[in-house]
């Protein structure tokens, strides 16, 4: 692998050649790769399926997106004072999509128009974890393991970074866009799965909570111009070179540290860092996505994947009781969320397609569970009711919506890389309880589908504390038949 | 085999494929292991490995993958009970479900977890203490650690590692023992010291710095005991911190056996460890409180991994479901039912601990009694495992690699059993004094030797060869503490809830008087906003090794020593301890208090300072506000100075004077002058440097820098902000030349003077007139040097 050209707008670090010579034994080929992380070694060498996609974008509708309000419309009941909750399945009428027999909720016209490029799983199910806690289900969804666990589980993005490595050695393999991890509720819980876990930090996410500020993450620090940044690096390398302990220059630990510094500097001075800067995107293209934070996140995801990132998660953001987490005012909030996601997601698909990237990019649109107007958890669950409105009838517009968490059946959209087009997989009941009635797809099976599309066997395992740890729990996930 | 399964898997979706580890192994273990695993090979058949099983026995093959009807393994278990061929020959044999499982497993191609073997463990660690005979000392290397290691090396024809140089040793000892770097003054003094015993003296002098020691080792124990955790499970207030108990245990150097007792059988303040994390929602029984107790106690204290056995009999060691539940049942308030892989077994757990050879807990006893019995057994003099486990952890911290490694897997053979015994015995024989064990290791020649230069192959090699201590990356806390000190940017306040410093048995009397200017008319009070410069000029014939002052003022002060600002304070009842050491010099010195009265109308004003100076020879000197001080309105050059007024009636400031007296007691030791990183909540910088969220026990942190961490260090706003402020602080000091600043940075950060080349590069970077940017860039470059970022 050749080192990538440096950004011509930055002065070349003069001592670079010298610095690389010091890293000597490692050689240029390995220099392009991240430091080895051999704490966990494959326990099994599974035969990986052929990769149908090279990159993956997970569009995460955090907070519990109600399927009957979005991609799986049921009988519509307009608002009326005194409407019994038992009669409420959907608060939006349905609209046709580009696929015969597939209908969405009103407000999602743009996504509806691109459904011929993808498939929908209508029967994704989640386990009953007792009292609903979003972050527990999110942990499960993102790692494949129900928390708590006795080992630190890696995020699926970290699995891809670990097993597949970076597509472009300059770019971070795993980027997480749009989720703040500080200063929001349940932030420790979010951090618990936004991690490479026992794979080690090299495979963890680069977090970019604000897409419009992403460029700063790969720029020299605030107040430092390119010239000063380059000269600081140059002087640092001269000091490394001048180190009096000559023997230690070959030390493995020291080299691995310097390699990480070199990787960092390479990204911070490579042309690829332009991919983080949304201001460089053509104005028409920016307009096509829209200017909300989520829309910018979708655009950033496309730019990062184009530059060589392996896995990007982009989210509407989880903040307890905000966005999709509707414990009240459900209809009003979801109508806003429709507006927030409809154009950006559709544009992401069209944009990838027009750039010839869709065939090799897997896009997933998912949430931790669905919602229902009556049932908390699933039928028969003892989970505590968390709705703000507990009467039997709807007495105020604020009551109109699906305010309880539902784990018995929800929808997942998949587009691009290897996904059969126009496919509808599974179904949910037409009357409450709206459970999956055909071809249920568990989190494990969904992960097996995603991993298989990416060319990773769901049985891939790494040794941790002397036991195998699988990409899908005990290697048991089975890919849903939605891949080509 | 795996590929085969993969193809099969989608077809077999209706019936999930048989799970070898969780379904087949227990059947084979239950019915076949007695005669066909380990050393046993009845009929010539061993099932230890797949290869042996495929080889078959005296009567030919028993297993044909994919063909159950041709596999004797499948047919003999369903043969009539009285027939010749029926296996097992005695007992009830396999039930229909078990027999079907075997048949399906063979039909599916008999997948076998790679590397799995039924063998009995080749190594069973000793439980009781052992007293190995020490080899002869050679070349005067009499320390017990060196006697064992030298013989170990001799037997392997390995050279004895060369000694580390003074700088490396000084830096290593500071970072390992108290977690902070020496000051430039301390470094200079140590390097200049020619006495042969200075290294041992350094070790002892560091370990008496109670506060520094406790603050540093909090990091290690917090990781190990899952303390200072703020994640899942806290949302419902489900877990109590043990910070106060832990810090006090370290500060007072409580014996380790007492700490163990109080962790196993909690006392007020230590309950959080035993109680674990309460998760919201329904949680696997294997993660309930009782099983968490079982896992934490066995992992942390005994180096036993009970995580596997919390769900099913372990496949990797000898621990069984009943062992994990035995410990859990000691702690459980109600009877516990054994649950195997989330399926209740109908059997009740019996309270028991894993080493019945030392005695057993009475399962019929009430809970409090059971816990007391467990605590007794845990610290039983014959429980060598307890001492070996902690001694190994300490060795790992100081030497970079465990004698048993990884340190939680105490069932693994140590690379030197004798050395592990020597360390464990030292701990047991010396009142379980952890600081003594640390001193014992740190005063060996082994600890004083040069860190191994690690070849890439050695880093991952299975067989460890001792070649000296191994370099370790600074912990996030060590890095941030060093950064704060170097740049003088440590915050004053911290988050950890600690006991207030213990009042000394005989608090020194406060000599400092309340002083103010003498121009307030009798019966009047100083005006609001009145500023006064109060000063004392005094000579020093030699530089002090340490000079600390406790200072306060009603209402605010800035302390300036020889023209350099040392610190500020604002609340008169919260005096500050400030370090004057770097600012004092031989000859005439001036201490100034820039004091300011607050309030909205005339009100009482006063300032206090008492300093304690210590000199290399051990002499001390005290300096306090008194009638010998002078004042001036502004203190400009050429100002006239008048004697201050000493205020006699200080009753209104009783609280402040008491606080001053309490701090006075600390001046003679090593008080905490600012927050330590271990005592503040993990921020982005510390997280980025590897401070974990302690959902699981952490016994080792990643040693490598990741690319994302390197990016954060290269351009993260947190570090950049500290460096900018730090550069301003450094520039405010009195440097004769850029070279002097460079020397100081090298001594403070690396404990050595720069080489001529380094000095030239650094001065070049600073330029003729060092500015904020060039100083920040130089400090950054030094912080990023692997030499800085590692303990070596």
Report pLDDT for B13: 36
Domain that holds residue A426: 51-220+279-475
Q: Are strands B556-561 and B587-596 parallel, antiparallel or unpaired?
A: antiparallel
Burial of A42 (0-12, 13-18, 19+ CB in 10 A): middle
Across the interface, of B234, B281, B708, the residue whose CB is closest to A204 is: B708
Report pLDDT for A187: 87
Residue A371 falls inside a structural domain? yes
Residue-wise pLDDT tens digits, B147-171: 999 999 999 999 999 999 999 999 9
Considering only CA atoms, which of A258, A222, A254 is closest in space to residue A16? A258
Residue-wise pLDDT tens digits, B339-354: 888 888 889 999 999 9
Return d(Cα B142, Cα A319) in angstroms, integer. 63
A330 touches chain B (CB under 8 A): no
- The alpha carbon of residue A122 and the mean position of all alpha carbons in its chain are separated, in whole angstroms, by 20
Residue A292 falls inside a structural domain? yes
Least confident range of A301-310, B325-334, B483-492, B565-574:
B565-574
Report pLDDT for B40: 76
| CA B510 vs CA A21, A366, B124, B639, B648: distances in Å | 62, 68, 61, 31, 14
Residue A228 falls inside a structural domain? no
The answer to whether the beta carbons of residues A314 and A178 sit under 8 Å apart is: yes
Stretch B658-683: mean pLDDT, rounded?
Answer: 90
Residue A255 falls inside a structural domain? no
Return d(Cα B751, Cα B190) in angstroms, integer. 10
**pLDDT surpassing 60 at residue B650:** yes
With CB atoms and an 8 Å threshold, state whether A223 touches B720. yes
Residue B522's pLDDT band (cuts 50, 70, 90): confident
Residue B503's pLDDT band (cuts 50, 70, 90): low
Return d(Cα B638, Cα A171) in angstroms, integer. 63
With CB atoms and an 8 Å threshold, state whether B717 touches A242. no
Report pLDDT for A45: 59
Cα distance from N-terminal residue to C-terminal residue, chain B: 46
SS3 B24: helix
Q: In chain B, what percentage of residues exceed pLDDT 70?
A: 94
CA angle B319, B324, B330 (to 5 degrees): 135
A238 touches chain B (CB under 8 A): yes
Using CA atoms of B306, B310, B313, B315 in order, give the dihedral in degrees to the nearest 10.
-60
Report pLDDT for B446: 98
**pLDDT surpassing 60 at residue B402:** yes
Residue A291 falls inside a structural domain? yes
A466 touches chain B (CB under 8 A): yes
Residue-wise pLDDT tens digits, B49-94: 888 888 888 788 899 888 899 898 898 888 888 888 888 888 788 8
Residue B616's pLDDT band (cuts 50, 70, 90): confident
The secondary structure of B48-69, three-state, reads: CCHHHHHHCECCECCCCCCCHH
Neighbour tally for A33: CB within 10 Å: 15
Tell me which chain A residues have a C-beta less than 8 angstroms from the C-beta of B762. 239
Return d(Cα B774, Cα B767) in angstroms, integer. 8
Residue B507's pLDDT band (cuts 50, 70, 90): low
With CB atoms and an 8 Å threshold, state whether A130 touches B282. yes
* Beta bridge partner(s), residue B559: B567, B593
Search chain B and give the residue with CA nearest A256. B704
CATH of the domain at A141: 3.40.720.10
Q: Establish whether the linkage from the previous residue to B555 is cis, with ω within 30° of 0.
A: yes
Helix (H) / strand (E) element for B274: namely: helix B271-275
Return d(Cα B728, Cα B128) in angstroms, integer. 59
35-54 in chain A: CB under 8 A from chain B: 35, 37-39, 43-47, 49
The answer to whether the Cα torsion of A247, A253, A257, A260 is positive or negative is positive
Return d(Cα A111, Cα B241) in angstroms, integer. 49
**Chain A: nearest CA to B455, how far in angstroms?**
6
The secondary structure of chain A, three-state, reads: CCCCCECCCCCCCCCHHHHHHHCHHHHHHHHCCCCCCCCCCEEECCCCCCCCCCEEEEEECCCCCCHHHCCCCCCECCCCCCEEHHHCCECCCEEECCCCCCEEECCCHHHHHCHHHEEEEEEECCCCCCCCCHHHHHHHHHHCCCCCCCCCCCCHHHHHHHHHCCCCCCCCCEEEECCCCCCCCCHHHHHHHCCCHHHCHHHCCEEECCHHHHHHHHCCCCCCCHHHHHHHHHHHHHHHHCCCCHHHHHCHHHHHHHHHHHHHHHHHHEHHHHHHCHHHCCHHHHHHHCCCHHHHHHHHHHHHHHHCCCEEEEECCCCCCCCCCCCCCHHHHHHHHHHHHHHHHHHHHHHHHHCCCHHHEEEEEECCCEEECCCCECCCCCCCCCCCCCCCEECCHHHCCCCEEECCCEEEEEEECCECCCEEECEECCCCCCCEEECCECHHHHHHHHHHHCCCCCCCEEEECCEEEECCHHHCCCCCCCEC
**pLDDT surpassing 70 at residue B583:** yes
Q: What is the CA radius of gyration of chain B?
A: 33
The answer to whether the beta carbons of residues B174 and B182 sit under 8 Å apart is: yes
Across the interface, of B234, B310, B471, the residue whose CB is closest to A253 is: B471
The answer to whether the beta carbons of residues A411 and A98 sit under 8 Å apart is: no
Considering only CA atoms, which of B243, B214, B226, B245 is closest in space to residue B497? B243
Residue-wise pLDDT tens digits, B703-712: 889 999 999 9
**pLDDT surpassing 90 at residue B276:** no
Return d(Cα A89, Cα A77) in angstroms, integer. 7
Tell me which chain A residues have a C-beta less than 8 angstroms from the C-beta of B714. 220-221, 261, 264-265, 268
Stretch B690-711: mean pLDDT, rounded?
Answer: 90
Across the interface, of A201, A232, A250, the residue whose CB is closest to B453 is: A250
Report pLDDT for B313: 78
Residue B460's pLDDT band (cuts 50, 70, 90): low
Cα distance from N-terminal residue to C-terminal residue, chain A: 31
With CB atoms and an 8 Å threshold, state whether B706 touches A260. yes
Going by the DSSP 8-state scheme, the letter that residue B768 receives in this structure is S
SS3 B347: strand
Least confident range of A50-59, B121-130, B244-253, B361-370:
B121-130
Using CA atoms of A205, B276, A129, B305 in order, give the dihedral in degrees to the nearest 10.
70
With CB atoms and an 8 Å threshold, state whether A224 touches B277. no
Number of domains, chain A: 1
User: A125 versus B670: which is more confidently predicted?
Assistant: A125
For A388, phi then psi, to 5°, come to -80, -15
- ipTM of model: 0.86
Least confident range of A122-136, B139-153, B221-235:
B221-235
Considering only CA atoms, which of A131, A150, A194 is closest in space to residue B236? A131
Q: Establish whether the linkage from the previous residue to B562 is cis, with ω within 30° of 0.
A: no
Burial of B263 (0-12, 13-18, 19+ CB in 10 A): buried
For B605-620, b/e burial (b = at least 16 CB within 10 A) is: bbbbbbbbbbbeeeee
Residue A93 falls inside a structural domain? yes
**pLDDT surpassing 50 at residue B770:** yes
Residue A259 falls inside a structural domain? no
Residue B11's pLDDT band (cuts 50, 70, 90): very low
The answer to whether the beta carbons of residues A128 and A375 sit under 8 Å apart is: no
Residue-wise pLDDT tens digits, B411-431: 989 999 999 999 999 999 999
User: A348 versus B335: which is more confidently predicted?
Assistant: A348
CA angle B173, B179, B183 (to 5 degrees): 75
Residue A386 falls inside a structural domain? yes
Considering only CA atoms, which of A41, A95, A39, A98 is closest in space to residue A69? A95
Tell me which chain B residues have a C-beta less than 8 angstroms from the C-beta of A27. none
Considering only CA atoms, which of A89, A92, A141 is closest in space to residue A112? A92
Task: Average pLDDT across each block of 10 residues of chain A; the chain has 484 residues. List them in order.
Answer: 34 39 36 31 68 98 98 97 95 98 98 98 94 91 92 95 93 97 88 92 94 94 92 95 90 90 92 96 96 97 98 97 94 98 98 98 98 90 81 92 96 96 98 97 98 96 84 93 95
Tell me which chain A residues have a C-beta less than 8 angstroms from the C-beta of B713. 261, 264
| CA A355 vs CA A275, A278, A343, A348, B63: distances in Å | 15, 17, 18, 11, 55
Least confident range of A414-428, B253-267, B378-392, B694-708:
B694-708
Tell me which chain B residues have a C-beta less than 8 angstroms from the C-beta of A150. 286-287, 295, 307, 310, 696
User: A150 versus B628: which is more confidently predicted?
Assistant: B628
Stretch B230-248: mean pLDDT, rounded?
Answer: 76
Return d(Cα B545, Cα B618) in angstroms, integer. 9
Q: Which residues contact A148 (CB under 8 A, 6 or more apart)?
A: B232, B233, B277, B279, B283, B287, B695
For B607, phi then psi, to 5°, come to -135, 150
For B156, phi then psi, to 5°, come to -105, 10
């Amino acid at each position: 692998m050749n080192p990538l050209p440096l950004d011509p707008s930055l002065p070349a670090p003069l001592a670079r050649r010298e610095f690389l010579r010091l890293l000597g034994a490692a050689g240029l080929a390995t220099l392009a790769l991240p430091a080895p992380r051999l704490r966990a070694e494959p326990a099994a060498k599974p035969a990986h399926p052929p990769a149908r996609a090279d990159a993956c974008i997970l569009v995460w509708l955090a907070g519990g997106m109600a399927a009957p309000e979005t991609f799986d419309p049921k009988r519509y009941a307009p608002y009326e004072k005194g409407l019994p909750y038992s009669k409420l399945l959907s608060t939006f009428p349905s609209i046709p999509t580009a696929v015969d027999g597939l209908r969405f909720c009103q407000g999602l016209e743009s996504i509806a128009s691109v459904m011929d490029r993808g498939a929908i799983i209508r029967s994704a199910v989640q386990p009953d974890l007792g009292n609903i806690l979003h972050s527990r289900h999110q942990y499960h969804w993102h790692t494949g393991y129900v928390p708590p666990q006795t080992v630190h589980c890696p995020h699926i993005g970290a699995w891809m970074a670990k097993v597949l490595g970076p597509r472009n050695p300059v770019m971070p393999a795993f980027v997480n866009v749009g989720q703040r991890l500080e200063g929001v509720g349940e932030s420790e819980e979010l951090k618990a799965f936004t991690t490479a876990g026992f794979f080690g930090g090299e495979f963890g996410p680069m977090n970019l909570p604000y897409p419009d500020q992403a460029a700063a993450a790969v720029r020299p620090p605030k107040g430092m111009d390119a010239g000063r940044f380059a000269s600081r690096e140059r002087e640092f390398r001269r000091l490394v070179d001048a180190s009096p302990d000559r023997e230690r220059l070959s030390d493995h630990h020291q080299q691995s540290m310097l390699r990480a510094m070199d990787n960092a500097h390479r990204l911070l001075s490579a042309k690829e860092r332009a991919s983080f800067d949304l201001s460089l995107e053509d104005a028409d293209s920016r307009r096509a996505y829209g200017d909300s934070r989520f829309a910018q996140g979708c655009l950033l995801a496309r730019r990062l994947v184009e530059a060589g990132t392996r896995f990007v998660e982009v989210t509407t953001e989880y903040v307890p009781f905000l966005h999709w987490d509707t414990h009240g005012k459900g209809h009003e909030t979801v109508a806003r969320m429709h507006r927030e996601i409809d154009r950006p997601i559709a544009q992401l698909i069209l944009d990838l397609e027009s750039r010839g990237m869709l065939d090799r990019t897997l896009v997933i649109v998912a949430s931790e569970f669905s919602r229902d107007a009556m049932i908390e958890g699933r039928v028969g669950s003892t989970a505590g009711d968390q709705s703000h409105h507990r009467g039997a009838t709807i007495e105020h517009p604020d009551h109109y919506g699906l305010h309880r968490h539902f784990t018995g059946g929800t929808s997942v959209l998949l587009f691009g890389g290897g996904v059969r087009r126009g496919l509808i997989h599974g179904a949910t009941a037409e009357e409450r309880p709206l459970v999956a009635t055909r071809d249920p797809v568990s989190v494990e099976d969904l992960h097996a589908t995603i991993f298989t599309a990416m060319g990773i066997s769901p049985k891939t395992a790494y040794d941790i504390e002397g036991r195998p740890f699988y990409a899908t729990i005990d290697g048991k996930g089975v890919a849903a038949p939605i891949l080509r | 085999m795996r590929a085969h399964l993969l193809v099969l898997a989608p077809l077999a979706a209706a019936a999930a494929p048989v799970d070898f580890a969780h379904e087949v192994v227990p059947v084979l273990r239950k019915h076949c292991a007695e005669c066909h695993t380990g050393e046993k090979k009845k009929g010539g058949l061993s099932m230890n490995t797949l290869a042996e099983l495929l080889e078959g026995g005296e009567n030919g093959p028993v297993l044909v993958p994919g063909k159950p009807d041709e596999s004797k393994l499948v047919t003999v278990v369903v043969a009539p009970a009285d027939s010749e061929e029926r296996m097992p020959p005695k007992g009830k044999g396999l039930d229909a479900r078990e027999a079907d499982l075997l048949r399906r497993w063979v039909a599916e191609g008999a997948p076998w977890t790679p590397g799995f073997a039924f063998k009995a463990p080749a190594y069973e660690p000793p439980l009781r203490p052992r007293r190995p005979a020490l080899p002869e000392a050679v070349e005067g290397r009499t320390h017990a650690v060196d006697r064992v290691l030298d013989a170990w090396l001799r037997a392997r024809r390995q050279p004895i590692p060369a000694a580390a140089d003074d700088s490396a040793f000084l830096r290593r000892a500071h970072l390992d023992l108290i977690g902070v770097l020496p000051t430039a003054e301390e470094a200079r003094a140590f390097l200049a010291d020619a006495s042969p015993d200075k290294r041992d003296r350094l070790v002892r002098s560091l370990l008496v710095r109670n506060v520094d020691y406790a603050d540093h080792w909090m990091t290690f124990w917090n990781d190990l005991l899952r303390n200072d955790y703020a994640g899942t499970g806290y949302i419902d207030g489900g877990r109590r911190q043990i910070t106060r108990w832990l810090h006090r245990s370290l500060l007072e150097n409580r014996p380790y056996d007492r700490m163990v007792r109080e962790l196993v059988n909690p006392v007020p303040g230590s309950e959080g460890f035993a109680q674990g994390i309460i998760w919201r929602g329904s949680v696997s029984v294997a993660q309930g409180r009782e099983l968490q107790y079982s896992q934490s106690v066995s992992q942390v204290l005994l180096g036993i991994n009970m995580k596997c056995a919390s769900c099913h009999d372990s496949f990797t060691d000898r621990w069984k479901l009943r062992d994990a539940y035995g410990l859990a049942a000691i702690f459980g308030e109600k009877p516990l039912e054994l649950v195997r892989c989330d399926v209740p077994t109908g059997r009740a757990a019996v309270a028991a601990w894993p080493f019945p050879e030392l005695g057993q807990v009475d399962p019929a006893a009430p809970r409090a009694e059971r816990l007391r019995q467990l605590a007794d057994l845990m610290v039983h003099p014959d429980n060598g495992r307890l001492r070996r486990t902690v001694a190994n952890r300490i060795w790992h911290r100081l030497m970079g690699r465990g004698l048993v490694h990884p340190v939680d897997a105490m069932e693994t053979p140590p690379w030197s059993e004798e050395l592990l015994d020597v360390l464990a015995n030292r701990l047991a024989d010396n009142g379980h004094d952890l600081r003594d064990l640390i001193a014992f290791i740190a005063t060996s020649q082994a600890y004083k030797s040069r860190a191994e230069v690690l070849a890439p192959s050695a880093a991952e090699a299975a067989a460890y060869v001792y070649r000296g201590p191994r370099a370790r990356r600074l912990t996030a806390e060590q890095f941030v503490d060093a950064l704060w000190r170097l740049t003088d940017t440590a915050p004053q306040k911290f988050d950890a809830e600690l006991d207030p410093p213990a009042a000394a048995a005989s608090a020194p009397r406060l000599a400092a008087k309340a002083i103010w200017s003498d121009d307030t008319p009798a019966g009047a009070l100083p005006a609001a906003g009145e500023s006064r410069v109060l000063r004392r000029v005094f000579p020093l014939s030699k530089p002090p090794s340490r000079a600390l002052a406790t200072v306060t003022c009603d209402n605010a002060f800035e302390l300036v020593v020889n023209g350099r600002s040392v610190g500020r304070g604002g609340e008169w009842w919260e005096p500050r301890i400030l370090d004057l050491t770097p600012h004092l010099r031989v000859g005439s010195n001036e201490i100034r208090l820039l004091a300011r009265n607050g309030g909205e109308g005339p009100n009482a004003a006063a300032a206090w300072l008492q300093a304690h100076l210590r000199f290399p020879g051990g002499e001390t000197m005290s300096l306090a506000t008194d009638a010998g001080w002078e004042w001036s309105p502004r203190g400009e050059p050429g100002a006239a100075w008048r004697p201050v007024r000493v205020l006699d009636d200080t009753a209104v400031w009783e609280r402040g004077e008491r606080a001053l007296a309490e701090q006075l007691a600390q001046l003679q030791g090593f008080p905490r002058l600012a927050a330590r990183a271990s005592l503040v909540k993990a921020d982005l910088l510390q997280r980025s440097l590897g401070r974990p969220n302690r959902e699981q026990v952490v016994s080792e942190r990643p040693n490598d820098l990741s690319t994302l961490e390197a990016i954060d260090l290269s351009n993260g706003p947190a570090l950049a902000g500290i460096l900018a402020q730090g550069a301003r602080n450094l520039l405010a000091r009195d440097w004769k030349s850029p070279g002097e600043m460079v020397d100081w940075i090298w001594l403070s950060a690396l404990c050595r003077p720069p080489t001529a080349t380094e000095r030239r590069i650094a001065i070049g970077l600073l330029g003729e007139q060092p500015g904020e940017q060039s100083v920040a860039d130089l400090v950054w470059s030094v912080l990023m040097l692997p030499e800085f970022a590692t303990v070596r």
